[in-house]
Amino acid sequence: MTAIPAPRHQPTAGYAGDIPAGWAAIHDTVPQLANTMLTYVDQVKVSLRPASVKGTNTDLRIFATFLIGHDPALECVADIERRHIEAFKIWQHAQPGRCGGTYAPASFRRRITHLRMFFIRITEWDWNDAPARVPIFFGDVPKRDESLPKFLDDAAYTKFRRALAAEPHLYRRVAVELLARTGMRVGELCDLEADAVTTIGEAPWLRIPVGKLHNDRYVPLHPQLIDLLNDYTRSDEPHYPGRLLSGREGHSTATPSPDGSAPSPNAPASATSTPTSCDLRVVPSPYVGRLSVVVLRIELPRAVISVGRRLSA
């Protein structure tokens, strides 16, 4: 007896959770597409970091929104073809960036990579709603530029330190000093708990929580950092319970733009916001000196930024 093949668009296991607010309109229009993508997000929650899950969810939601407008006849993930991917790439590349310029290559690379992994995984998992083949090829993901590291010479490093010492905003100065003198990542800085500073022996140490590097660790604190942290604690700067650094610039509360980019750096904070993400506007600098130097794109005086520009010339 010949078995009856399963319908092409048969749901895998179905999405049993509540439909998130950002997915409501998508689910109302193409429920099978939304169910498959939301089920995938639930699956990767088990193995990926929360930030990666959040980024994947955003990228899938933006992709689904594009598909609805581009091809109203599309009903499910299995209907996605190569032509949809090519149209999405052109559309996404033309979107404005975070600060009004062109869309960042790193953001484009991340989004295409997340979408490609979505198709690869649901194909490997043998989901019924997977396309016949993965429609995103390896060549669709732009290559990452790997420039040689540069170094701050003594004169440039001195200018950087002077500009930082002259920074009038205590929060910004503490944040950059912590990044520069500990070598931690920006995300790790945002997740520092209020009791992160501890004493081991007679010396102060900073406990950096588990993050992207999948480990927690202790790093020694420079005496100047202790003084700055004490000044910050005693100051009238906004503080959020449970966080070492917080306030208006300590977490983002604005709604992301339609293309999934971060909110405006001038967006107001909310009393009901949560400190789960950070809006420091910090970009890693390619200039690594005796410290893990970072440059604030917006927040520091122009003297600091001009140092980086002259070195990159």
98-114: average pLDDT: 86
Rounded distance between C-alpha atoms, residue 228 and residue 197, angstroms: 13
Q: Which helix (H) or strand (E) holds 303?
A: helix 302-312
Q: Which residues contact 152 (CB under 8 A, 6 or more apart)?
A: 160, 287, 288, 289, 293, 307, 311
- Domain map of the chain by residue range? 21-140, 154-312
Q: What is this structure's pTM?
A: 0.59
So what's the pLDDT on residue 191? Answer: 79
Quick check: 58 pLDDT over 80? yes
For residue 29 the two structure tokens come to 């229009």
Burial 179-218 (b: 16+ CB within 10 A, else e): bbbbebbbbbbbbbeeebbeeeeeebbbebeebeeeeeee
Quick check: 204 pLDDT over 60? yes
So what's the pLDDT on residue 17? Answer: 78
So what's the pLDDT on residue 112? Answer: 95
So what's the pLDDT on residue 7? Answer: 47
Tell me which architecture the domain covering 21-140 has in CATH: Orthogonal Bundle (1.10)
Q: Could you read off the pLDDT of 145-203 as tens digits, one per residue? A: 766 556 667 887 788 788 888 888 888 888 888 888 887 877 788 778 888 888 888 88
Rg over CA atoms, the chain = 23
- Kind of pairing, strands 197-200 and 203-208? antiparallel
Rounded distance between C-alpha atoms, residue 62 and residue 67, angstroms: 9
Q: Could you read off the pLDDT of 260-308 as tens digits, one per residue? A: 443 333 333 333 333 333 333 333 333 333 333 333 333 333 444 344 3
So what's the pLDDT on residue 255? Answer: 36
Mean pLDDT for the chain?
74
Query: Degrees (nearest 5) of the Cα angle 263, 67, 118?
Result: 80
295 vs 95, more confident: 95
Q: Which of 131, 4, 28 is nearest to 77 (CA)?
A: 131
Give the 3-state secondary structure of residue 238: coil
